[in-house]
């Protein structure tokens, strides 16, 4: 294992819930030294989300991995001064306070860049730094609604449907990490950092295809189609005879032809309407019925084996137990096992991709709040006496 492609990069994560912390996690997965700063008495609320074991939050074990933790009150003058000292040695700061909050504490980009001109400040908020909604509380759920995602998701006669996890936050975290690396690349040429303004409502919108162009050019809105597609068919989830589910995709014409021959309806392949995805979508009921009947007469393993032999596209609908047992995920090393001081060895999703020069390991799981406060502040130039004084004032945990 290597130290990671981003070894030597220092990232200060002063964000919460969830896009900013996830972006910092991605950078830490690639070797960056991530310093997580939380309020001494109100740590990141994500520590309380999801299931726990023996009083230890399981999500935080992943979300907080590879991050040293510092408990620091940025609204306290002494805490703000300590933060400026930490930021002076950083490459990146990621924050998600409401606009102008850092400025109110004397920690805006002007103040931070005065002592560190190369600093990149990533500001991750629900609605961005400008506009009429800039001061509204913003969460991924609101982005999933406002982006059009919810209106596209669900059955045609059902309500708009939200995802059961932080989809918009996850997409925004990737966009934030990409934006940070873009700004760092620009810094290599100019020597100057800059501000990244990322609104969580935007990256998920960018993932939703040509709905804006469709409205602009045709004046129509993409409808809800459940698991079906308005662009091709057959495309759905189908239940097998052993009670499992599989997903079938026929985005490519050749795959659609293989699927229909496999399920015993070869004659439709020669129909003129079958030659395009849109044409097939107009005959979804007929195609779906054939695939559903064929799949429903077989077990999941039989379906997957037959589709593989026919070089047609199918995937079983997995839950977590299936994922950890799957040989493809094992071959990729998707699931890593990390030693944790409270829970022993725990499994979690690993970094998003592999690099040929070597991958950085997940060095440690999410730590308790403030576990590394003294170490980080000493690195930033504070003396033990100064740290003790800040702790006595309530600026530190």
Please give the structure tokens belonging to residue 149.
């995602």
Tell me the helices (H) and strands (E) count for the chain, helix number first: 18, 13
Catalytic-residue membership of 13: no
* Helix locations, the chain, DSSP H: 19-29, 58-63, 77-88, 101-104, 109-115, 140-146, 149-152, 167-190, 201-206, 211-218, 253-262, 277-281, 284-296, 300-309, 320-325, 327-332, 373-379, 384-393
Residue 246's DSSP bridge partners are 238, 316
**Any idea of the CA torsion for 374, 106, 23, 46, to the nearest 10 degrees?**
70
Q: What residues contact 61, with CB distance under 8 A and at least 6 apart?
A: 340, 343, 346, 348, 365, 366
**Nearest Cα residue to 79 out of 383, 377, 397, 390:** 390
Distance CA 269, CA 255 (A): 11
Phi first, then psi, for residue 132 (nearest 5°) are -70, -20
**Nearest Cα residue to 83 out of 91, 92, 74:** 74
Burial class (CB in 10 A: 0-12, 13-18, 19+), 291: buried
Please give the structure tokens belonging to residue 387.
């740290």
Q: Which of 33, 73, 169, 288 is catalytic?
A: 169
Distance CA 252, CA 238 (A): 19
Distance CA 9, CA 100 (A): 27
378: helix, coil or strand?
A: helix
Question: Greatest CA separation found in the chain?
Answer: 83
- CA 180 to chain CA centroid, Å, is 15
State the catalytic residues. Answer: 169
């Amino acid at each position: 294992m290597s130290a990671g492609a981003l070894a030597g990069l220092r990232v200060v994560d002063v964000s919460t819930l969830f896009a900013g912390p996830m972006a910092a996690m991605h950078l830490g997965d690639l070797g960056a030294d991530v310093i997580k700063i939380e309020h001494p008495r109100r740590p990141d609320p994500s520590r309380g989300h999801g299931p726990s074991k023996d009083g230890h939050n399981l999500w935080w074990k992943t979300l907080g991995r590879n991050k040293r933790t510092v408990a620091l009150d940025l609204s306290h003058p002494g805490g703000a001064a300590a933060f400026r000292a930490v930021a002076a040695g950083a490459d990146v700061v990621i924050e998600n306070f409401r606009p102008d909050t850092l400025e109110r504490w004397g920690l805006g980009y002007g103040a931070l860049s005065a002592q560190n001109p190369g600093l990149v400040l990533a500001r991750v908020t629900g609605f961005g730094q400008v506009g009429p909604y800039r001061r509204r509380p913003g969460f991924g759920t609101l982005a999933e609604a406002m982006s059009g995602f919810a209106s596209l998701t669900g059955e045609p006669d059902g309500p708009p449907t939200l995802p059961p996890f932080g989809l918009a936050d996850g997409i925004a975290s990737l966009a934030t990490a990409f934006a940070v690396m873009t700004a760092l690349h620009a810094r290599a040429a100019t020597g100057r950092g800059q501000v990244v303004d990322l609104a969580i409502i935007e990256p998920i919108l960018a993932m939703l295809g040509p709905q804006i162009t469709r409205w602009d050019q045709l004046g129509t809105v993409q409808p809800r189609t459940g698991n079906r597609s308005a662009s091709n068919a057959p495309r759905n989830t189908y239940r097998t005879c052993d009670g499992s589910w599989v997903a079938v995709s026929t985005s490519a014409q050749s795959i659609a032809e293989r699927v229909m021959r496999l399920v015993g309806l070869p004659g439709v392949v020669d129909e003129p309407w079958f030659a395009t995805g849109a044409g097939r979508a107009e005959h979804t009921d007929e195609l779906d019925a054939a695939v559903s009947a064929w799949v429903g007469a077989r077990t999941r393993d039989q379906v997957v084996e037959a589709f593989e032999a026919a070089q047609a596209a199918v995937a079983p609908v997995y839950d977590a137990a299936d994922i950890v047992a799957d040989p493809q995920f094992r071959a990729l090393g998707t699931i890593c096992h990390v030693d944790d001081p409270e829970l022993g060895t725990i499994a979690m999703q690993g970094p998003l991709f592999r690099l040929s020069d070597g991958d950085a390991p997940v060095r440690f799981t999410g730590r308790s709040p403030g576990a590394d406060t003294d170490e980080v502040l000493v690195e930033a130039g504070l003396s033990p006496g100064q740290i003790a004084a800040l702790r006595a004032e309530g600026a530190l945990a």
